[in-house]
Amino acid sequence: MKLKGIEDKMSKTNIYLAVLGLTAVTVLTSAGCVGVVGPSLGPLSIPIPVSPSFQHEYENMAWEKERYSKVPIMDPIIDGQAHALDPPSDDEVMRALEKAHPTRNGVPGLETRTRNNVKIVKELIGNYLDPPREMPLCGPVQVHHTHYKCTVYYTEVIHVGLPIPYTRINEDAQEVVYIDHDHLHRVGNVDDGKGSGIVME
């Protein structure tokens, strides 16, 4: 009787292991891109988790490239007045300030910096044209220079956690950021060809 009971337990264990192995094989071969018929990259086709910090960094790079890293090509100047483009947005100013004086260098729990009550004042300090010249892929153009002085007033709060926790507040902090919005103007009676681009990287 004892041998029969042992054999029954072993047979149940073998059945459990077989079912578990079959389930594992089914899951591994049907999850993701592994079980897809056709060209395969092998182990490289299995998705690898990416840290949110890297994803955030690449999203920031894409955001800046799409909005702030391109030079527009405007129509020719007709009335002789070179009108500047729109002043830089608050987002562009804060991104430039963050590059110059980052607040993310601190270690959480040891030192953190924040900017509160932010006020931005933008001044146009330069607006002039270069003589016409020929540029590759653009043709005859003029470079229109526009320079902005952006003064950022804010309250800086610094939290220090170790060795002695304390908080330092500077209510009169200010920084000056200079931003250039240079762009191009076409010169003469330029015919827009079919499929011609209006933005230069």
pTM of the complete model = 0.65
Which pLDDT score, from 0 to 100, does residue 3 have? 46
Residues of the chain scoring pLDDT < 70:
1-10, 27-42, 105-106, 108, 189-201
* End-to-end CA gap in the chain: 84
- 146, with CB counted inside 10 A (0-12, 13-18, 19+), is buried
The torsion region of residue 61 among left (phi > 0), alpha (psi -120 to 50) and beta comes to alpha
Residue 36 has what pLDDT? 57
Residue 91: the pLDDT is: 92
- Any idea of the CA torsion for 91, 181, 56, 170, to the nearest 10 degrees? -50
Residue 199: the pLDDT is 46
Q: Which two tokens stand for residue 17?
A: 């292991």
**pLDDT at residue 175 in the model:** 93
